[in-house]
Chain A
Amino acid sequence: MAEARERTIDYFELWQEKMFLGEEFLTWLWLCSEIDSGFAADGGPKVEIWFENSLKLQSGQGPSKRSVTCQNAGKENGTEWPEAFTAVMKNKKVMNGRLRIKSEEREWSLALPADTLCPKSAKLMAGAEFKDDEDGKLSKVGALLDRVVYYTELTGTIEALLSMFLKLRLSPEWASEELPRLRAWVARWTREEG
């Protein structure tokens, strides 16, 4: 048991060391959701993402940590997130956001923190098909198993998006194409806002 515990702690240290991956992923996801019409990971179904009410962005760690929470400003000025673009220009990254994920007939609303990418308050907004048992009622075990299927789909979708990001992040195209593309978009909205 002690050995298992030590090995778990090994992963904890690795997690701390690579904490920036989740922050980069959520920032990339938000920027791409603003620029592109959707995501298609490894030939899978098209996934649409949009961020809802607020975004929390942060730079630095420990005592030098600076964070800002930006509200959705509506599309009146061309972007819903003028403050968030300014924060990204100042090297802040998305730490948490409430978003919608639409994949095929399913649509989810959830909060996604950058450190774990574990869904919080995840609700299925559309696409649920609850199966009744012989009495015309959904049995409690049936309800649980249905939801396990839905949550498996949700975590699988997040995992596919993360995989897509990591492959890009670890390729030469990240520095030569993707990062300049995203920076140009951030600069555009920051200038227009400024």
Chain B
Amino acid sequence: MGFVKGGATLTRYRIFEEPEAGLTDEFISERLTANAFVDIEETSEESSQGWVQFFDHLEATFPPEAFHFHPIVAFSLRLDERKLPNKILNRYMAIAEARFIAEIGKKPNAAKKRDMKDALRLDLLKRSLLDTQLFEVIWLLENNEVWLGATGERNRSLFEESWLRTFGLGLRLLVPVTVGLEVLEKPARTRLMALKEPSFFGADDE
């Protein structure tokens, strides 16, 4: 599912700030590059998060032709995670402790157990498969609107934090009340802000 294939899911934002030096390809390229995705395939890092090209999720360089498709800018947020369940770590730890006792003839002390567990964690993380998530982002330049190809609080937070860290431009979620504040005339906007009581459609309420 995504903006190009299948059914699309999107969360809408309005950008309510502009870069001080103006919005240019150089600004976007520099910020995306500074917060680009770093591959952790050959490491034991638990997670990595950053920007990749929209049409090539393995590529984290940003020449303008890779993100600026007039009248939009498009890129993706990539999140790679390794998950190591405690149950598995504890099972391997029990095996390691048994081997230690067989070799040394006594139980490892607390400090030794901590060292053994840290080493095991790194070893198991390196051997575990990465889970990759991709979040497509479309920036509609003409109306300062951004679409995130995902919904849900966790995904929104992940994207909003990455966006703010990268561009420093405030985002306003486009939901019923914020859309209302954009499309209504001032008297209606004032009434909207004052509206507190929901209506009910059942005939025997209130």
Contacts and interface: CB of A to CB of B under 8 A. Distances in A.
Contact of B8 (A3, A18, A147, A170): A147
Given A12-B173, A167-B188, A118 B10 contact: yes
Contact of A18 (B1, B69, B177, B200): B177
Contact of B3 (A3, A117, A147): A147
A95 interface: no
A178 B16 CA distance: 35
A155 interface: yes
Of the four ranges (under 10, 10 to 19, 20 to 34, 35 or more), the interface on chain B belongs to 35 or more
Nearest to B143: A152
Interface string A138-163: 00110111011001100100010011
Contact of B175 (A88, A93, A115, A152): A115
Given A4-B164, A15-B175, A115-B175, A166 B183 contact: yes
Contacts of B175: 15, 22, 115-118
Nearest to B9: A120
A141 to B, nearest CB: 5
B199 to A, nearest CB: 6
A24 interface: yes
B198 interface: yes
B191 A170 contact: yes
Contacts of A166: 176, 180, 183-184, 188, 192
A1 B168 contact: yes
A90 B202 contact: yes
Most A CB within 10 A of own CB, among B7, B17, B175, B201: B201
A170 B178 contact: no
A123 B160 CA distance: 26
A119 B9 contact: yes
B140 A121 contact: no
B172 interface: yes
A7 B192 contact: no
A146 to B, nearest CB: 9
A52 B165 CA distance: 41
A27 interface: yes
A186 B202 contact: yes
Contacts of B74: 144
Interface in A106-124: 110, 113, 115-123
B205 A1 contact: no
Contacts of A117: 175-176, 179
B120 interface: no
A88 B202 CA distance: 6
A46 to B, nearest CB: 19
A120 B201 contact: no
26 contacts: A5-B164, A21-B177, A23-B198, A88-B202, A113-B151, A116-B11, A118-B12, A118-B174, A119-B8, A120-B7, A120-B9, A144-B4, A144-B72, A147-B4, A155-B12, A162-B180, A166-B183, A166-B184, A167-B184, A169-B195, A170-B191, A179-B199, A179-B201, A182-B201, A184-B203, A190-B203
Given A20-B198, A120-B7, A166-B176, 18 more contacts: A1-B168, A15-B175, A18-B177, A18-B192, A22-B176, A88-B202, A89-B203, A120-B9, A120-B151, A123-B6, A140-B4, A144-B74, A145-B72, A148-B138, A155-B12, A163-B184, A166-B192, A183-B201
The 4 closest A-B pairs by CB, nearest first: A4-B170, A18-B177, A187-B203, A121-B7
Interface of A: 1, 3-5, 7-8, 11-12, 14-15, 17-18, 20-25, 27-28, 31, 88-91, 93, 110, 113, 115-123, 140-141, 143-145, 147-148, 151-152, 155, 159, 162-163, 166-167, 169-170, 174, 179, 182-184, 186-187, 190
